[in-house]
Every structure is written in C-alpha cells, then in structure tokens.
Amino acid sequence: MRSSPSRSLTRRGLIHRGVAAGLAAYALPANVPAWAGSTVNLPLPGGPDERDITTDFPQKGTMILQRTRPPLLETPFEVFDQGVFTPNDRFYIRWHWAVIPTSVDVDKFRLNVYGSVNQPLSLSLTEIMALPQIEYAAVNQCSGNSRGLFQPRVAGGQWDNGAMGNARWTGVRLKDVLDRAGVKANSVQVRFNGMDEPVVPDAPDFMKSLSIDHARDSEVMLAYAMNGDQLPLLNGFPLRLIVPGWYATYWVKMLNDIEVLDSPDTNYWMETAYTIPDTPHADMKPGQANVPMVPINKMVPRSFITDLKAGTTIKAGASIVVRGIAFGGNTGVKQVDFSADGGKTWSLAHLGKDEGKYSFRQWQTNFVPAAKGALTLMVRCTNANGEAQPAEPNWNPAGFMRNVIESTVVTVA
C-alpha cells in the first residue's frame, strides 16, 4: 500500500476506524502519528526490508503491514518499550485463510462442544461468562516470529521480532466446559476450530488439537477479554483459546467448535504444518534428510533490548540505561544477563514487577561505554527451569522457534 498520509487518514483511515473511539483522535491533524503513510525498514538479511506502516485495519492502531489478505500485521518494536502489556490495538495479527467473518452477533454466537462426550453442548456467550472466571497474563508468540532473520532465508511470513505480544487474558477454564460436557474415558485429544474458512472449499480448514490432559490442566482458557476489553475481531473476537506457554498456533481465534477425539488428530495443521525437528532447539542443517518431526509445542526463553535500536549513537564515558523485556517460554524468568562487550562478560540485570510466569518481564541495567567505535550489546534470559537462550541461532525449513541471544550493535562516540 503506497498510500499517502492524507489518503490513508481521510479515506480508509476514517472509514475503518470510524466504529472505534479513535475517530476523533485520528481526525485531528495534531494527533496524526508522524509515521502514518510511511514505511519502516526491518533488518532482514538480504531483504526485502521495506514494509508499509498501516492504520487501515479495524480496531487496530499503527501496525507494520506484512500482508493485507489474509492479514499479517506486525507490532512495531517500540511498543514493547512502553510496558509489559501490549495494547489490544497494537497486538500483532496472523490469519491463515482469507474467509474471516467481519460481523459477529454476540447474542447468536454459540460454542459447540461435541464428539467423545456424554452431553454435547451449544453454549451462548452469556452461559460461558457465567462460569467461574479466571485471569492471567500470558505471552502470545507466533511460531514463526523472527522468521525473516533466519539464514539461509525461508519462505513464509517475513516477520522481524514483532509477531508477539503480552496481554492479561480473562475467561473460563476449558476444563470447566469439558467437564460440563462429560469427556468419555477413551478420549485422547481435544480439537479446536474457529469461524475462519479457506477460500477454496476443499482446502484444509485450520484446526489445532491438544492432548486431553493438557486441555484439562485448568490453565488452558477460553478468553472473552484481553487487557480488560473484548478482543479486537482480528485478535479472535468473541472467544479465543489461550494455551499459556505454548506457541500461538494453538491459540485458536474466533473459537466456536470443540471436538473431543477418541483417536489422535491427523489433520494437516497438526501432522504436517507447524512441525519442528525433534532435536535440541528444533535445529537442523539446510537440506538434512530424515529428520524426525514433531508438532511445535512449548515456547522457549527470549529477551530483547527495547530502548536502544541498532545503529544508535551513544556517548562515551557517560552512564546509560538499557532496558527491555524477557519471557521464560513455558515458565517464568529466573534471570536476565546483559553484556556490553559482545558476550565476553555478563552481569545480572534488575528484574521488574513479576506479572506471572507466562508474562513478559521488564529488565533494566546501566553501563558506561568506554572505548569509541562499534559496541555489541547482548541480553540473555534464563528461565525458571534453568534453560538459557543459546549463543548460536537455530535453523529449520519453516523458520520456527528462534531464540538465539540477540545482539544490538550501537556506536560509541
């Protein structure tokens, strides 16, 4: 979209943001974001690195446009410097198929639970919201977050590091809904399907499954709220599956169909797509044959600097604050280490408020750059299980599960 600021703000911007409360703000020139109608360059090796910045999507603010249809929108990285919770209107978007309902009537919506159960259910949102409420913070991260940084490069959505976000999710336990339906003793998995559909009718509908024990662990949630508000439609309104600690592929959006299975799910999206090498760090060599593959599952620790961009010039001899975010993957953050010498020496960073083991956690430290010239800053998260980010990047053909220690090169002057 090579749209000029005036065009995107007067025509599309207003039409598509008109429903939201943002209308007034976006109509005032004083509040027009400086980057509206502009582009951003992502540090993807070999390019193409330029992406349009868009404000054209409903209920969404300023986002990096990766693909218009089906929508892929990346969260601009500066959002992660503003706090551990990612605002709903800045939370990344990722859809597989282009047929997405654009209208949801909350009175008519039903969640169907069927299959290997004693009592099939068809629940309204009112019935679901009457169940005991739970709430926790959890990171939602695309399996392919940072895919654009893989070398050699691989096909797929060419994300930088912004296909992730952290929200406080509110909803009900999946277990409570399954218990109400009465899962039969021979059940092995629970399969989740949303309201989106393929453009071509015989293409594989997007569905994901969890083991019956995982589905009943009392943590997996059917969420009707995100950061205290209903979900933006493109983030899965009215109901989204929350699988804390696991990659977002399982967090089925616009969830309206739950089938309890008495045999393992062999659908394409479980058996073929979203599989990783069954090796440490899901790592393999390009072209390597006969690598055993398994469905992607638990997330791994990651950490980022959020207040200094690569290429920034900092002053020699003056103390500088460095801060960022970390997350432990499927457990909490134990520690974050910072290096201002390219990984030769490390020091513990101070950790911010603990918002729960599945949340982003802020970290902060300071240092005094001495020698002038290029300086490589690194940050490393170790999670509560003692698992630390690796020094070498992983590689696999789908570009999944990057969690190498990230480096930020700045200039000391």
Partner 1 sequence: MNSRKIPVLVALLALSVAAGHPVAQALTLKWVDVTLPDSDRDLPDGPGFAAVQGNCISCHTPGMILTQPAMPKAAWEAEVTKMRDVYKAPVSEKDVPDIVTYLMAVKGTR
Q: To the nearest whole angstrom, how small is the minimum distance from the Cβ of residue 110 to partner 1?
A: 14
For residue 151 the two structure tokens come to 């070398």
* Residue 183 burial by Cβ neighbours in a 10 Å radius (0-12, 13-18, 19+): buried
Least gap, CB of 28 to partner 1 (angstroms): 22
C-beta closer to partner 1: residue 55 or 382: 55
Rounded distance, CA 71 to CA 82, Å? 25
Which position among 24, 29, 105, 292 is part of the footprint of partner 1 (CB under 8 A)?
105
Nearer to partner 1, 271 or 354 (CB): 271
The stretch near partner 1 (CB under 8 A) out of 81-89, 117-125, 302-310, 313-321 is 117-125
Number of residues that bind partner 1 (CB under 8 A): 69
Contact status: 214 vs partner 1 (CB under 8 A): no
Stretch that binds partner 1, among 30-38, 223-231, 257-265, 369-377 (CB under 8 A): 223-231
Can you give 209-249 as a three-state secondary structure string?
A: EEEHHHHCCCCCEEEEEECCECCCHHHCCCCEEECCCECHH
Residue type, position 156, single letter: G
Exactly one of 22, 26, 36, 66 binds partner 1 (CB under 8 A); which one? 66
Query: Shortest Cβ distance from residue 94 to partner 1 (Å)?
Result: 13
String marking each residue 34-63 x if it binds partner 1 according to CB under 8 A: ----------x-xxx--x--x-xxxx----
Torsion of CA 246, 250, 251, 256, to 10 degrees: -150
| Beta carbon nearer to partner 1, 194 or 301 | 194
d(CA 55, CA 7) in angstroms, rounded, equals 11
Q: What does each C-alpha distance from 113 to 51, 163, 214, 267, 356 come to in angstroms?
A: 41, 30, 17, 18, 30
Considering only residues 346 to 375 of the shown chain, the ones binding partner 1 according to CB under 8 A are: none
**Which x/- pattern, by CB under 8 A, does the window 11-30 give for partner 1?**
-x--xx--x-----------
Half-sphere exposure of 193 (CA within 13 A, CB side): 17
Q: Which residue in 23, 41, 229, 345 binds partner 1 (CB under 8 A)?
A: 229
CB of 217 to partner 1, least distance (A): 16
Sheet holding 111-115, edge to edge: 121-123, 111-115, 255-261, 189-194, 207-211
Residue 409 found at the interface with partner 1 (CB under 8 A): no
Is the CB of residue 269 less than 8 Å from the CB of residue 191?
no
Binds partner 1 (CB under 8 A): choice among 28, 30, 118, 280: 118
Q: Are strands 63-67 and 72-74 parallel, antiparallel or unpaired?
A: antiparallel
**Which residue stretch of 202-210, 242-250, 339-347, 375-383 sits at the interface with partner 1 (rule: CB under 8 A)?**
202-210
Q: Cβ of 23: how many Cβ atoms within 10 Å?
A: 12
> Do residues 149 and 160 touch, judged by C-beta distance below 8 A?
yes
153 forms part of the interface with partner 1 (CB under 8 A): yes
Contact residues for partner 1, defined by CB under 8 A:
1-3, 12, 15-16, 19, 44, 46-48, 51, 54, 56-59, 65-71, 98, 100, 102-107, 118-119, 125, 129-133, 135, 148, 153-155, 157-158, 170, 176, 179-180, 182-183, 198-200, 202-204, 224-225, 228-230, 233, 237-238, 268, 272
